[in-house]
Structure 1
Amino acid sequence: MKSKFLLMLISVVFFLNACSKDDNDAVETLETPVANAPKDVNDNGFKAKWNYVSHSKSYLLDVSTSEDFTTILPNYNSKEVTDLNEVVTGLTGGTQYYYRVRAKTEAQISDYSNVISVVTTGSNGIPEDPTFLKVKVNKLANPFFVGMAIKASQLTNGTPYDVILRNEFSSISAEYEMKMDQISTASGVYNWTVADKIVAYGNTNNINVHGHALVWHNAVPQWLKDFSGTDAEFAAEVKKYITDVVTHYAGKVKSWDVVNEAVDDNGGAMRNTIFLQRMGPNYVKDCFQWARNAAIAAGDTLLLLFYNDYATSTNIAKQDKVFAILEDLKTAKVIDGVGFQMHNTYLSPTKAQIETDLNRAVAKGLKIHVSELDIQVNQFNDISSFTNERRLAQKAKYKEMVKIYNALPAANKYALTIWGMKDNESWIPYSTELNHPGNDWPLLYDSNFAVKSSHTGFLEGLD
């Protein structure tokens, strides 16, 4: 009898264990697979790869031309694969693709894996959009100026520079030739020749002229650096310069960067410039007040005054300090807008960082000038030629920036200015401060004045 009872007990335990195991198997959730970098990338395809998932019987592969998978290739829409890789074929050369996978059993499908980006080699053969930038911008419900940084030597009639400027752009900024050390040769003595040429070109061709910049610590003329008078006399010299320049160009220059880059990159403090040292912490407000007073005295009541700076989207301490200055200037009623330089890379800042930065200016009721836009693609010196992957990444980043700007309220839009025309003439590859003295291709035109994918990205950002 005891052995019979023991046998029954063992049977019950075995049955319960079996049921428990079946239940666990039934509710066990498939792990999410991990997609890996592609292999054997060529003009027409690549090999997609991913890691093994326990209990999976197969995998579902998606391949798309859009990162959000709104457009999935017909042959690769949840394509079932029993291996840990799949050779994707029938693609177009020089084109951006994305892939992801899910694990599958008879009863379950896992979550999507991470998304892998891949650019096929070769060329897609699709020409860039030849539409002129300002033509498309001017058709918008709320248009804005499309700007270009220029040099006076580029403004000869009939040159490729001249043709592109008149066809594509509605605003110009002097890259360097309207700064203090270029105009002021001594106290009260000015060389207007080059700056006058730039302003006359804009006025003659119905192109807006943005003045850049009245006060910048890297453009102080030697005579002012060596000035031996009192601090009050130094301030008087700065006031005289601002007054004379604003007066000279009253009605001809429609906006000015009054002060450029007054905030330090570290800790959110004022930059320790000669202007801070000799004029005190209120020098920015003083400069704006002098510019405003000069414009009013000259009868130019429409002149717009901007503060201009860089790297505020990623450097929050700097951003906070800049906006504290802007609040002070706004309270004093001496500022109209803020310039965000946007010397960006194809990786940074993020869309969210840029939007947060610009929306703070919107909240203050300021006009926004994306004042010095270029997008580096070789900040780590890891490529020696302009690859398809970087070309498309740059295109996407230009599109993103323009889309963000175009979405701003109409009252806050002023201009979006590209900092230079041709890649080979950009300041970026030659800047020792950027610490990447190699090749880069940051602009909208190549060395032969041909439009790049970045130009098409700009146009697509307006859609």
Structure 2
Amino acid sequence: MIATTFTFLLVATSIAASPARRQAIDGLNARAIAAGKDYFGSATDNPELTDAAYDGIVIQSKLTPEKWDAIEPSRDTFSFSNGDAITDLAARNGQKVRCHTLVWYSQLPSWVKTGGYNNATLISIMENHITKEVTHYKGKCFHWDVVNEALNEDGTYRSNVFYDTIGPSYIPIAFKAAAAADPSAKLYYNDYNIENLGAKSTRAQNIVKLIKQYGAKIDGVGMQAHLIVGSTPSQSAQVANMNAFVNLGVEVAYTELDIRTNTPATASAVTQQAKDYAATVGACMEVAECVGITIWDYTDKYSWIPSVFPGQGAALPWDQNLKKKDEVYKAILSALGSSSGSPTTTSKASATPIATSAFAPPTSSSAMTNLVPKWNQCGGINYSGPTVCESGTTCTKFNDWYSQCL
């Protein structure tokens, strides 16, 4: 949702720290690695690194607030200083870097959004931006979120300068450019509300097929997983959804996990939140091709949620005072498996082909469904999809930009 450029994942053994800090690291990242995953990480922003208490217990990862408008504020003029601060710190501490994001409809400089470029020129601009950025960080990013949030809630393509000028082919063109700039990096498509089977997840699967049919490389799909306490999809539903992507020959990851509730959080909400975290982490553990989990910061102190959803928050395993929420933490730890190093039972999806053409034009929302499924968006500024929720749910407004069927 709120996108930035880099996430780096801390290798647990690289930190000389207090016993409590090592315990936090070992309890999540090392437990995930022992179970066969690549990482359990957390996002952060550069300004937070001046908070000594915060930085003292950052779990596994960090992130910088650079976007296209900061990296390339004017055409072919690049600034990588904030990103370099992150990758340099990662190198000093033996950390992996998950980089996010190259092409996104938001936080673009005006020269891109309103330049009035034709198809060929905008393709050249996009390819140049990707090539320069990925080349600059070549060998430092083990994952790239190449394209972020290309879909509306009903699964149709989101109107933006890239889609409106280039068409859906902007997506595989971006992946091809990223692969050429750093062949060793794993390349991801990233989006929200694709954690459950439905119209949007289906269209995200079609994006995977589109990229492959174009002859470009795609390695994975990132499910942001900005979830709600008590409305999180069941573990089995999340497993089925992940396997639909895995069937297409890609890996998956939870890339921005948080589970929000009304604030102040009640004891019952925290108990349910623990169960919801366990369901999502447990789903990843069930699918061998789910390679890792990134929580969207580790502490409520720096969560994005209260500024976007007033009256909500308390979404993360550490509270505003950087205190670990024992019930939530223990639920995550348990879902990651035993500390013996034996992975939990995993199940690979069968490679059953899906016959839908990825090149078909986007289907209108009314043709796909007249009702919005539970947990999906049903309203907000610039939203153009259906507004009537399925039976048993109500279109609930959180802010001017977002209403959701609950």
- The bucket for the TM-score relative to the shorter chain is 0.7 to 0.9
Q: Which amino acid aligns with 1:455?
A: Y
Partner of 1:402: 281
Q: How does 1:114-263 map to 2 (within 5 A)?
A: 132-140=27-35, 142-156=36-50, 159-165=52-58, 168-169=59-60, 171-174=61-64, 177-263=65-151
SS in 1 for 2:73: strand
| Aligned residue pair count | 311
Distance in 2 between the 1:162 and 1:419 partners? 15
Structure 1: 4+ residue segments shifted above 4 A: none
Question: Would you say the 8 A contact 1:235–1:278 is kept in 2?
Answer: no
1:413 to 268, 275, 290: 290
Distance in 1 between the 2:28 and 2:300 partners? 18
Deviation, 1:364, is 1.9
Question: Would you say the 8 A contact 1:172–1:207 is kept in 2?
Answer: no
Q: 1:336 to 1:356 in 2, by over 3 A?
A: same
Deviation, 1:454, is 1.8
Partner of 2:367: none
Deviation, 1:254, is 1.5
SS in 2 for 1:256: strand
Q: Which amino acid aligns with 1:161?
A: Y
- The one-character-per-residue Cα deviations of 1:346-397 (angstroms, maximum 9, x if unpaired) are 222222321221111221221211000000122xxxxx52211011110111
Deviation, 1:178, is 3.3
Distance in 2 between the 1:323 and 1:445 partners? 33
Deviation, 1:333, is 4.2
Q: Which amino acid aligns with 1:320?
A: T
Q: 1:181 to 1:377 in 2, by over 3 A?
A: same
- The one-character-per-residue Cα deviations of 1:256-300 (angstroms, maximum 9, x if unpaired) are 10000101112x2111111101112211011101111122xxxxx
Deviation, 1:183, is 0.9
Partner of 1:281: 168
Q: 1:446 to 1:291 in 2, by over 3 A?
A: same
Q: Which amino acid aligns with 1:355?
A: V
Question: Would you say the 8 A contact 1:313–1:356 is kept in 2?
Answer: no
Distance in 2 between the 1:415 and 1:198 partners? 20
Q: Which amino acid aligns with 1:151?
A: D
- The one-character-per-residue Cα deviations of 1:393-432 (angstroms, maximum 9, x if unpaired) are 10111111111111211xx23220000122132111211x
Distance in 2 between the 1:263 and 1:228 partners? 22
Distance in 2 between the 1:319 and 1:164 partners? 35
1:323 to 205, 212, 217: 205
1:346 to 229, 239, 242: 229
SS in 1 for 2:203: helix
- The one-character-per-residue Cα deviations of 1:427-452 (angstroms, maximum 9, x if unpaired) are 11211xxxx41142000111111111
Q: 1:346 to 1:370 in 2, by over 3 A?
A: same
- The one-character-per-residue Cα deviations of 1:231-256 (angstroms, maximum 9, x if unpaired) are 31122111100000000000111111
- The one-character-per-residue Cα deviations of 1:307-350 (angstroms, maximum 9, x if unpaired) are 00111234611111110111122342410001001111122222
Which one has more relative contact order, counting CA pairs under 8 Å at least 6 apart?
2
Q: How does 1:46-85 map to 2 (within 5 A)?
A: none
Distance in 2 between the 1:188 and 1:371 partners? 29
Please tell me whether residue 336 in structure 1 is matched to residue 219 in structure 2: yes
More displaced stretch, 356-365 vs 239-248: 356-365
- The one-character-per-residue Cα deviations of 1:113-135 (angstroms, maximum 9, x if unpaired) are xxxxxxxxxxxxxxxx9663123
Distance in 2 between the 1:271 and 1:220 partners? 15
Deviation, 1:147, is 1.4
Q: 1:397 to 1:229 in 2, by over 3 A?
A: closer
> What runs of 5+ residues in structure 2 fail to find an aligned partner?
1-22, 338-406
SS in 1 for 2:313: coil
Q: How does 1:92-111 map to 2 (within 5 A)?
A: none
> What runs of 5+ residues in structure 1 fail to find an aligned partner?
1-128, 296-300, 379-383
Partner of 2:315: 442
Partner of 2:401: none
Q: Which amino acid aligns with 2:276?
A: K
Distance in 2 between the 1:313 and 1:148 partners? 19
Partner of 1:90: none
Q: 1:315 to 1:272 in 2, by over 3 A?
A: farther
Deviation, 1:201, is 1.6
Partner of 2:363: none
Distance in 2 between the 1:351 and 1:415 partners? 16
Question: Would you say the 8 A contact 1:261–1:308 is kept in 2?
Answer: yes
Question: Would you say the 8 A contact 2:190–2:221 is kept in 1?
Answer: yes
The percentage of counterpart residues that share the same residue type is 30
Q: Which amino acid aligns with 1:136?
A: R
Question: Would you say the 8 A contact 1:310–1:343 is kept in 2?
Answer: yes
More displaced stretch, 413-422 vs 368-377: 413-422
More displaced stretch, 326-335 vs 200-209: 326-335
Q: Which amino acid aligns with 1:399?
A: A
Partner of 2:302: 425
SS in 1 for 2:316: coil
Distance in 2 between the 1:439 and 1:263 partners? 25
